[in-house]
């Protein structure tokens, strides 16, 4: 063999050996992690969140609270428009909750002119018919949620604007000093 060729082979071999040593000696660096942004959480509906906060936790095992859950669903989740007025809205909520007409009982029955129900008669989920003192003393139906100010007979109610307006149900405050009818869901026998 040619001496130059042998010398080149020795140099090349030494270089390859050095490269091999460098590769085996040098630690392998892991690739930097790639972080993808987390998907944005679904945005909560502020009206639903506010209604849930104001109404408090509801237990579907309680008949009245089952009515309130159905009302939340219709008014704040589905934002369903009910043809008709306040009575039609409350009737739709009761039906959605599973309380058709034969599953409703009269707890108090007066007349528009009185006598009126006492404050301690009302329970969450009751269908209230009253003289709406905030809107021209008209008859109005709503669903009692809780007392906002019991001493002044101001209640938080789930109701409907009425007059066939294209708006969903809402939470509002009403003076319940002239409640002339109270209906309540009853369990099926």
The set of residues, in sequence order, having a beta carbon less than 8 Å from that of 110 and lying 6+ positions away, is: 116, 117, 179, 180, 181
**Domain total in the chain:** 1
Mean pLDDT of 139-164: 91
The percentage of the chain sitting over the pLDDT mark of 70, rounded to a whole number, equals: 76
- pTM beyond 0.85, yes or no: no
pLDDT digits (tens, 9 = 90+) for 83-125: 888 999 999 999 999 999 999 999 999 999 999 999 999 999 9
Note whether residue 14 is domain-resident. Answer: no
Beta bridge partners of 185: 104
CATH label of the domain that carries residue 136? 3.90.1720.60
The set of residues, in sequence order, having a beta carbon less than 8 Å from that of 127 and lying 6+ positions away, is: 90, 94, 104, 141, 142, 143, 181, 182, 183, 184
Question: For residue 37, what is the DSSP state?
Answer: P
Query: What is the residue range of 143's domain?
Result: 46-185
Backbone angles phi, psi at 36, to 5 degrees: -95, 140
Where are the alpha helices (H) located in 44-186, listed in sequence order?
Answer: 46-55, 63-72, 86-96
Note whether residue 30 is domain-resident. Answer: no
Note whether residue 158 is domain-resident. Answer: yes
Note whether residue 31 is domain-resident. Answer: no
Note whether residue 8 is domain-resident. Answer: no
């Amino acid at each position: 063999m040619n001496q130059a060729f042998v010398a080149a082979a020795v140099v090349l071999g030494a270089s390859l050996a050095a490269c091999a040593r460098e590769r085996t000696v040098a630690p392998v660096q892991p690739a930097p992690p790639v972080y993808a942004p987390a998907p944005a959480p679904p945005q909560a509906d502020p009206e639903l969140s506010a209604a849930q906060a104001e109404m408090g936790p509801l237990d579907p095992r309680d008949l009245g609270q089952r009515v309130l859950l159905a009302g939340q669903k219709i008014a704040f989740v589905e934002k369903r428009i009910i043809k008709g007025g306040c009575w039609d809205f409350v009737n739709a909520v009761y039906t959605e909750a599973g309380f058709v007409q034969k599953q409703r009982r009269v707890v108090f029955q007066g007349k528009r002119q009185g006598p009126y129900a006492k404050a301690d008669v009302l329970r969450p989920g009751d269908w209230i018919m009253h003289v709406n003192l905030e809107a021209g003393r008209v008859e109005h139906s709503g669903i009692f949620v809780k007392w906002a100010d019991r001493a002044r007979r101001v209640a938080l109610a789930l109701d409907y604007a009425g007059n066939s307006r294209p708006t969903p149900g809402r939470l509002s405050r009403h003076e319940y000093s002239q409640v002339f009818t109270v209906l309540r869901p009853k369990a099926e026998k």
